[in-house]
Chains A and B, each alone.
Chain A
Amino acid sequence: MSALVEVARPAPPGALLPQRVRRRRRTVAPYLYLAPGLVLLAVWVYRPLAQTAQLSFLSWNLLPTSPAVPVGWDNYARLFALPDFGASVLRTLGLIAGLLPFTLLVPVLVALAARRVSGRAARAYQALVFAPLLVAPVAGAAVWSWLLEPRAGLVNRALGTQANWLQEPGPAQLAIVVITGWHVLGFAVLIVSAGLTGINADYADAAAVDGATPGQTTRWVVLPLLSPTLGFLGLMTVLLAAQWSFPLVDTLTGGGPIDATTTVYYLLWDYAFGSFDAGLGAAAGMVFFAGFGVVALLLVGLTERLVVHDS
């Protein structure tokens, strides 16, 4: 028999709360934190969505005195039979393509240039770029309609053109794209500036010591690290371009001339509140909701694969 004894391990800690109680506490807490946000979402997003879905199966002319008649899938059948629908989707795609330079290219150039300005001048510069966003869209549209006036308007006089901007299809589309772009540019510059600020300055310093020129540093280091921001802005543009342009379209062109500026949002609004066909408007709303949902999922998946995240 040995005289050596093994030293015991430190004793285990004392009694714990029963496992079940601890687990329940851990599962309940997160939902309590989420509750206020969930309630707001339910009241302001999910309830209207459910009502729209319900409305899309009814025929109703918005008059409280007239009854809403169930018509099954009839509204959807009519929607796809009408030529407006496909045309408005194409026009919306055109609007998105026209806006992408204003939300991606120009903001990156402006934000990179703004980094060279410092102190009070930088602040004034940022304020100037951001100011259009603070102008109410309808007020901005009113001023633009004077500027675009065919005979005495400043735009025609400055450009030396004679275009009837808001009454010809091509110029009207261009005007809507440029004015919407002018309006959201400040927001995009702000987002890109924030993205640039979020990039650790060590990377640019390291690139400089490694021998990169400022141009190489921008191309090889800054832009790749900015990709999450640019992905976000691209997604916003695709999903929201038609919404951003809505107040301008409504004020300046009313969707015309000859439907040239009727985007998907303007179309569904026009169905419901122009033609008093609530069921058709609701059906269009449901289709666009589903369509944008699919597009959003695809884009999120795509950006997740393309962008790099700074760890």
Chain B
Amino acid sequence: MARIRIERVSRRFGGVTALEDLSLDIAHGEFLVLLGPSGCGKSTLLRTIAGLLAPDSGRILLDDSDVTDLPARDRGVAMVFQSYALYPHLSVARNIAFPLRARRTDRAERDARVAEVGAALGLSGLLDRRPRELSGGQRQRVALARALVRDPAAFLLDEPLSNLDARLRTSTRAELTELHRRLGSTFVHVTHDQVEAMTMATRIALLDGGRLEQVGAPHEVYDRPESAFVAGFLGAPPMNLLPARLAERDGALHAVADGVDIPVGLPVEQPEGSTAAEDSGRDVLLGVRPEQLSVRRDGAPGGGLRGRVRLLENLGGEEVAHCLVGGIRVAVRGTRPLGVAVDDPLALDCPSEFVHLFAPTSGRRLERRARDRIHVPI
């Protein structure tokens, strides 16, 4: 039962910056997923919360107490490691009992807790086995049982599903979500798997290069990515990003590039005393999700994006067409069959409400402010 606050934490390893001035407030009872590519600092952040790594600067607060200088054993958080780190010389029962033994809980209570937690996770028949006699899924549950046995303030999970096969991962995902719902504790889960993040999280914190790119509910992060990095990380295939320039067409702003001419859903603003439309001529990064693009059937002229099909991928129920639009790869995803063939020219449309704009240098999202100006959100 804990709120975790990370305040301006930085950490360097030699010349590499793992965390840079990072702040994050994790509310009590949240299932927060730290998501990002390898080397983004997500595991470093988790180990800093656990107390296994000291930050170079900044503070970690558990509830309202500063635990920055508190050793891991006194923080009262539990952690599940990617390797599970089950003590190989101890039986399952003694592995689960380890946190209680370290706290000098008396034997009768220890045995009762182990039996209880073991039963809850379906480990009752395995308590006398050694870790090496267990399957991957069983080991994962023992690691979870060891975390559960002492009612920790928060659960820190470091890629706990990455060593499971695909089918087991899907079922374990659901079990973890169910466990979180039942316990109501704070969970911090590190992963590089966007499906895990989208399905399990109440909030996702996306990291890149030791910095937060965006924090929000899964639908917010997916539907309204705040940076080109977030847009390009989520989705399979991820959002198409094309460099373009804004131009005025019949009183509306269009994103224009080689093979691209698409309305961006913004009316043209004409500042007083000026004949040129504001924002016209500005360079942008145009973002469109593959599933929002539709193939123009009738071969009619027009279409926001025009290109040629290079490759078709059959996903079973769906199909992905990889196209080249003005030299840039653009993926289109839709129900199979899409009705196109390799080397076909094709025209693609996208409703303007699904068109995203990003600043080409900073990569941050461009939006119209309340005053109806395009601006870079801070």
Query: Which A residues contact B (CB, under 8 angstroms)?
Result: 200, 202-203, 205-213, 216, 220-221, 224-225, 227, 308-311
Contacts and interface: CB of A to CB of B under 8 A. Distances in A.
Interface string B129-152: 001100000000000001000100
* Interface size range on B against A: 20 to 34
B87 A209 contact: no
Interface of B: 47, 50-52, 71-75, 77-79, 81, 83, 85, 87-89, 98-99, 101-103, 131-132, 146, 150, 156
Contact of B73 (A212, A224, A310): A212
B99 A211 contact: yes
Nearest to A224: B89
A211 B100 CA distance: 8
A200 B83 contact: yes
B85 A311 contact: no
B315 to A, nearest CB: 23
Contact of B88 (A205, A209, A310): A310
Contacts of B79: 205-206, 209
Main secondary structure of the interface of B (DSSP, over half): mixed
A227 to B, nearest CB: 8
B103 A211 contact: yes
A216 B146 CA distance: 17
Nearest to A308: B89
A309 B74 CA distance: 30
B366 to A, nearest CB: 43
Given A205-B47, A205-B81, A216-B102, 10 more contacts: A200-B85, A202-B83, A203-B85, A203-B87, A209-B72, A209-B75, A211-B99, A213-B102, A220-B101, A310-B88
Interface centre among B47, B81, B87, B146, by most chain A C-beta atoms within 10 angstroms, is B87
B132 A311 contact: yes
Contact of A213 (B73, B78, B132): B73
A216 B81 CA distance: 20
A162 to B, nearest CB: 50
Which 7 A-B residue pairs are closest in the complex by CB-CB distance? A311-B132, A308-B89, A206-B85, A202-B85, A211-B102, A208-B72, A210-B99
Contact of A209 (B51, B101, B103, B131): B51
